[in-house]
Structure 1
Amino acid sequence: MMPSRNNAASGIPNSKVKYSKLSDTDDGYIDLQFKKSPPKIPYKAIALATVLFLIGTLLIVIGSLLLAGYISPGGNERAIPVLIIGILVFLPGFYHLRIAYYASKGYRGYSYDDIPDFDD
């Protein structure tokens, strides 16, 4: 029995490589090259977007309460920066969560490829 060889480029053993039989009428194309692979879900990016969304929402609520005077009266010098930072953190989190939601529901024009992935 011959030992299994590894693919030198990728280190994958030959037993894990998928092969398909070529057709008798070879016109240069096979069906597998047109088969769409399932989408890769960027879990880390979605988790980061969720954290940004929650922190931004919390900062917007705290800034609004500061501005209204419920937490500390006369706190405009503290409320405006908290609101600005909250909005700057909220917007990218909301944007990426919206893309992830629509991609998970299968809406046309939305894909997980639109979300930056950190698994390089």
Structure 2
Amino acid sequence: MGGATRRSNAYSKIDTETNDGEEALKDAFAHFPPLKPMERDPRFESQLMKRTPIREICLAVFLLLLGTSMYVVALLCHYGHIHPKRVSKGGFAALGTLVFLPGFYMTRIAYYTWRGMRGYTFDRIPHQ
């Protein structure tokens, strides 16, 4: 009795036709007009009033200028105009990087929005 046994009920193949499913899917979306490549869907646009984030732009420009000035101090220290024993040029370069990058990022978004470049809005600037 140790062999494999065959089941008594036979399974039948299920009828599957791929054309019916594809046609039903096409019919479901037939009444929607196709979107153009760069067209925006107004259902997903914010209805809030657009405001210019003046405070955030001022902060971005300040961070950009502070980071640039820290780089200048690090360069002056590197070339010997500021005595290196009083100031750490590596510290100024590292802090300058940490301050410069977010300032540059937000200032670039504000500038491109002001110029009217497609895809840039003040909504992309982080704010409270």
Task: Give the CA deviation at 1:70.
Answer: 1.4
Of structures 1 and 2, the larger Rg is shown by 2
Task: Give the CA deviation at 1:38.
Answer: 6.2
Whether the aligned pair in 2 keeps the contact of 1:67 and 1:80 (CA below 8 Å) is no
The corresponding residue for 2:104 is 94
Is there any run of 5+ residues in structure 1 with no aligned partner, and where?
Answer: 1-32
Whether the aligned pair in 2 keeps the contact of 1:53 and 1:90 (CA below 8 Å) is yes
Provide the TM-score with structure 1 as the length reference.
0.62
Is 1:53 equivalent to 2:68 in the alignment?
no
The corresponding residue for 2:91 is 81
Q: Distance in 2 between matches of 1:111 and 1:88?
A: 24
Aligned length in residues: 84
The corresponding residue for 2:75 is 64
Is 1:41 equivalent to 2:52 in the alignment?
yes
Q: Distance in 2 between matches of 1:42 and 1:48?
A: 10
Task: Give the CA deviation at 1:117.
Answer: 1.6
Large movers: runs of 4+ above 2 Å? 36-39
The corresponding residue for 2:126 is 116
Alignment root-mean-square deviation, CA: 2.4
Provide the TM-score with structure 2 as the length reference.
0.58
Task: Give the CA deviation at 1:71.
Answer: 1.2
